[in-house]
Amino acid sequence: QVQLKESGPGLVQPSETLSLTCTVSGFSLTSYSVSWVRQPSGKGPEWMGRMWYDGDTAYNSALKSRLSISRDTSKNQVFLKMNSLQTDDTGTYYCTRDRHTMGMDYWGQGVMVTVSS
Amino acid sequence: DIQMTQSPASLSASLGETVTIECRASEDIYNGLAWYQQKPGKSPQLLIYNANSLHTGVPSRFSGSGSGTQYSLKINSLQSEDVASYFCQQYYNYPLTFGSGTKLEIK
């Protein structure tokens, strides 16, 4: 069955770089796109960016200067790197299977990231 | 960016009631809208896409409607398992944007 699982550090120092991995199963990264979405506690989600099935990427312009999304199809993994983290980057980070005009139909369990010294 | 404004922010209703949640886009999104349900401590789950298409496995008491800039999610015969926050999301244009959510409780 379709599964996505995020992994990465739960605590990041201010100004440091966040590195997260999304490991997928039950579908191919060359057939489906994956988006990263984050959500501060008690607030609405924010779309961060998308790894298209063809390897192209799209980013939220608000984060573009700090964000990079890449993948390793042989390992069924999508990676997120975001630099210069600040306290307002604290929240839960999700990877999702993004079916574009059919919505995000599968979500990982999320990884809680706290930016604090 | 397209702003998504949801109302109400919170809602309390009785079991068996019908509730409606509204979502207004800052410009026409041509039915490029999804609705998600997020239960406490869980990840969001897709309910509706293309404004009115029910995602596989979602109970038929959920329905979506609307066009242009105005959209709504209706829940018929409210059940206890519907206690959750609900978010709309537009995918008509980048960046994809979400509403701030509606928290639904049982009265």
What residue in B sits closest to A95 (Cα-Cα)?
B43
* Mean pLDDT computed over every residue of chain A: 97
Count of CB contacts below 8 A, A vs B? Answer: 60
> For position B71, what pLDDT does the model report?
98
Closest residue by Cα to residue A14 from A99, A72, A82, A98: A82
Query: What was the pLDDT predicted at A93?
Result: 98
Kindly indicate the confidence band of residue A41, based on its pLDDT and cuts at 50, 70 and 90: very high
Question: For residue A101, which residues of chain B lie inside 8 Å, CB to CB?
Answer: 32, 49-50, 91
Burial B46-55 (b: 16+ CB within 10 A, else e): bbbbbbbebb
pLDDT of residue A22: 98
Is the CB of residue B82 less than 8 Å from the CB of residue B75? yes
Write the secondary structure of chain B as one string of H (helix), E (strand) and C (coil): CCCEEEECCEEEECCCCCEEEEEEECCCCCCCEEEEEECCCCCCEEEEECCCEECCCCCCCEEEEEECCEEEEEECCCCHHHCEEEEEEECCCCCCEECCCEEEEEC
| pLDDT confidence of residue A5 | 98
Chain B CB contacts of A103 below 8 Å: 34, 36, 46, 48-49, 55, 89, 91
User: Do residues A12 and A68 lie in contact, with contact meaning Cβ atoms separated by under 8 Å?
Assistant: no
- For residues A36 and A48, the answer to whether their CB atoms sit within 8 Å is yes
Q: Say whether B44 and A109 touch across the interface (CB within 8 A).
A: no
**Range A101-106 average pLDDT:** 96
**What was the pLDDT predicted at A76?**
98
Q: Which of residues 60-89 of B touch A (CB under 8 A)?
A: 87, 89
Chain B residues inside the 8 Å CB shell of A108 = 43
CB contact under 8 A, A103 and B99: no
- Segments in chain B below pLDDT 70: none
Q: Which one-letter amino acid corresponds to residue B63? A: S
Give A46's contacts in chain B (Cβ within 8 Å): 98
CA distance A71 to A33: 11
Q: What is the pLDDT of residue A80?
A: 98
Strands A18-25 and A3-7: antiparallel
CB contact under 8 A, A45 and B32: no
Position A54 scores a pLDDT of 97
